[in-house]
Structure 1
Amino acid sequence: MSRNNWLLMLSVGVLSFALISQRANSADSTEQINNDSCMKCHKRNGAMLGHHAQEQLKMNCSSCHGEQGNHPKKPNDLMVFSAENNMTIDANNGVCLKCHSPKKIAQAEWTHNVHAQKVNCTSCHKLHPESDPIMGLGAKNRSNVCRNCHTVQR
């Protein structure tokens, strides 16, 4: 192989590597959104971040809500955890299960096994307050939360 051919191949290889690296970096920066960009519009007295925004968890809004996409032009690009969303229960709860182990959840409370396929985690748990209100409730007060759905069984 001549020296010129070798230099040409080396140049093409280096250029290809540089282009691929640049493309990967630009994709990450445009798709990943940070809390600051969301909080420009979604700030409610600073309360939107809550427990899941603790620095040691290394999470941002897109960790749960997905990538920005065309939002705010197309808010359907983002995952929303409310009664009005059009996500399946499996898809909705699947976001939580990326971090929360099903085995640990089942050990924590028997109701998780009963409800896991029927209701969203966010039906009982609140994600944006500093702490989840249901976590501090005793069994009696927790059953009052159950009555939000189970009105017949008093």
Structure 2
Amino acid sequence: MGNIKLTIETMLKLLFVFAIYGFSIAAHATSSEPIEGAQAERHQVELIRDRDYKCLQCHKDAKETLNLSHDPQALLSQGKQLNCTNCHSNIGPDHREGAPDVIKFSAAQSKEVHDKVFLDPSMILKANSQCVDCHAPTQLREIHWTHDVHAKNLTCSNCHDVHAAKTKALSYDRKQLIKQCVDCHSEFAVEPELAKEEER
């Protein structure tokens, strides 16, 4: 019986020593003090989210055509990024049900010449304010006088296709500019035969 008692006593002492040693290791491992020279084993994770991701789920070609009309490299050189929400504002959960917080340029645009309607000036100003955030009005007036004349009556997108697939929004030559004017001001349109005579 003496051997059994001695064996049990030895086992308890060893168990006690292992318990204390194990507690000591655990206490050291959970210490909040930084260890000098040690490097983190975990990777740094940076969240990168495409702000246009949800928009592009339905409007699939919008990003590509927008990048053609607004040069992304030129914007990056100015420290800017072009996203759907920059021009259309933030969308809400009821976007598909006609959310009023999304800026829609078509709602403010005038109709074709034969279908002219009175426009809501607040819609025009709201739509144009998005463009004016980047395109300063004073510079636009210097470039072309029509910007000053039409600023309160038309949206920028009446004349400029901001989602242009083939041409940049600002790349109109003289003939294109004249066509833009005549599309609305048909009373100034020159008959094709007269135009040919004037060119001679």
Establish whether TM, by shorter chain, passes 0.5: yes
**Which letter does structure 2 place at the counterpart of 1:95?**
Q
Q: What 5-or-longer segments of structure 1 have no aligned partner?
A: 1-31
Bigger Cα Rg: 2
- Given the alignment of the two structures, is residue 75 of structure 1 paired with residue 99 of structure 2, yes or no? yes
Equivalenced residue count is 123
Q: 2:175 aligns with which of 132, 136, 140?
A: 140
Q: What 5-or-longer segments of structure 2 have no aligned partner?
A: 1-48, 110-119, 190-200
Q: TM-score scaled by structure 1?
A: 0.66
> Within 2, Cα distance between the matches of 1:39 and 1:53?
19
> Within 2, Cα distance between the matches of 1:36 and 1:100?
25
Question: Residues 63, 133 of structure 1: CA spacing in aligned structure 2 closer, same or farther, 3 A cutoff?
Answer: closer
> Within 2, Cα distance between the matches of 1:45 and 1:133?
14
In the TM superposition, 1:5-154 aligns within 5 A as 34-44=51-61, 47-50=64-67, 51-52=69-70, 54=72, 56=76, 57-70=80-93, 71-83=95-107, 88-129=123-164, 132-133=167-168, 135-154=170-189
Q: TM-score scaled by structure 2?
A: 0.53
Post-superposition Cα deviations, 1:62-119, rounded to whole Å, max 9, x if no partner, equal 1110111122344333111115677521111111111111111111111111111111
**Which letter does structure 2 place at the counterpart of 1:38?**
C
SS in 2 for 1:136: coil
Question: Residues 132, 96 of structure 1: CA spacing in aligned structure 2 closer, same or farther, 3 A cutoff?
Answer: farther
Indicate the percent of aligned positions where both proteins have the same amino acid: 29
